[in-house]
Amino acid sequence: MRYIQASKRALALALIAGTATGFSGSAMAQTAAPQTTAAKDGDEQQDDLGFNEIVVTGSPAGQSKFETAYAIATISDVALTKLAPLSTADLLGTLPGVFAESSGGEASNVYRVRGIPNEGSFQAFQEDGMPIYPESAGFFFTGDGLQRTDIMTDQYEAALGGPAPIFATNAASIYNLITREGGDQFKGSVRATVGDTGLYRGEGYVSGPIGSRTYFAVGGFYRHHDGYRDNGFPSDKGGQIRLNLRHEFETVTVKAHFKYFNDQNIFYLPIPLADPRDPTRSLNQYVDYFEGTLNTPCLG
């Protein structure tokens, strides 16, 4: 019943948008002013619903959300700024139909897609439509081990079901990180993040033209984090830098991408709560399960 009601609302909104477009077409033959106003109202309405938003994930070519026949979620750079995710798990956990469990740390986390009884498997992680690793079902390895969002990220797209198995091997879902590209004007931004767990993170990017129809964008981040538990060493340390060049010919566009990634991340191990020889005895006097950890420099 909810599906039928939602479909009726979507149909009604589509008819309203179509009617507004029809009015603007009629106004075109009479005067230019009403046409501008009517077209603007129609465009704003479609923009609010995301109909005109172009997606590229799970598709051979870019198409609007209105034309896609499968579930697609898009997180824009504005939304990314508001969310300020410190890990891929923080980001994927906001997507409908995706469950992210991040108790292990910043990377190598558990992800489950609605309808798929596996964790981590059957999910493809991409950057600019290219797979970052050929296999996503390795032992304690998911694509987040090689993927980080930063200020260089333009938007994040997720295709759940539909054509995902066609455009990514053995995938029920595709998570595609899309990087910024250069344009006719120079742009740039910097950002700093500080946390009370010894977190210091800096990131920035710059983009613009470097010649006739040739553009560039470069950016990245570096982060030092002591961690949520006292390990005796930094839990997360490192960063990445990404560069892309784009040249537009008359009929085709050529792009080149470069990425340097060097990041060290901790994986928090489970803490025993009771003595296995006598489950009635607590081990909290040896390892505090609120603040303690089994990670130690002696095991390095």
Q: What is the CATH number of the domain that holds 154?
A: 2.170.130.10
User: Does some domain include residue 171?
Assistant: yes
Region of 160 (left: φ > 0; alpha: ψ -120 to 50; beta: rest) is: beta
Into how many domains does the chain fold? 1
Hey, what amino acid is at 44?
E
The pLDDT of residue 188 is: 96
Strand 123-127 and strand 173-179: the pairing is parallel
The β-bridge partners of 167 are none
- Which of 210, 209, 234, 207 minimizes the C-alpha distance to 222? 234
User: Does some domain include residue 100?
Assistant: yes
User: Does some domain include residue 85?
Assistant: yes
Hey, what amino acid is at 83?
L
The pLDDT of residue 169 is: 76
Encoding tokens for residue 262? 């060097």
User: Does some domain include residue 224?
Assistant: no
User: Does some domain include residue 72?
Assistant: yes
The pLDDT of residue 33 is: 35
Range of the domain at 164: 61-179
Separation of alpha carbons 129 and 134, rounded Å? 13
One pLDDT digit (tens) per residue for the chain, 300 residues? 333 334 444 434 443 344 333 333 333 333 333 333 344 444 544 455 566 777 777 766 777 777 777 778 888 889 998 888 888 888 998 888 888 888 888 888 888 888 887 776 788 889 998 888 766 555 556 678 888 999 999 999 988 887 877 777 778 888 999 999 999 999 999 999 999 999 999 999 999 999 999 999 999 999 999 999 888 899 999 999 999 999 999 999 999 999 999 999 998 888 888 988 999 999 888 888 888 888 888 875
The predicted model scores a pTM of: 0.74
The pLDDT of residue 19 is: 38
Give the ranges where the chain is alpha helix by DSSP (H). Answer: 2-28, 32-49, 77-83, 88-92, 164-167
Hey, what amino acid is at 209?
P
User: Does some domain include residue 202?
Assistant: no
Side by side, the strands of the sheet bearing 253-265 are 187-195, 199-211, 214-225, 236-248, 253-265
Neighbours of 99 (CB within 10 A): 13
Residues 6+ apart with CB under 8 A from 145: 107, 108, 133, 265
Phi, psi of 13, deg, nearest 5: -65, -40
User: Does some domain include residue 276?
Assistant: no
The pLDDT of residue 60 is: 67
User: Does some domain include residue 77?
Assistant: yes
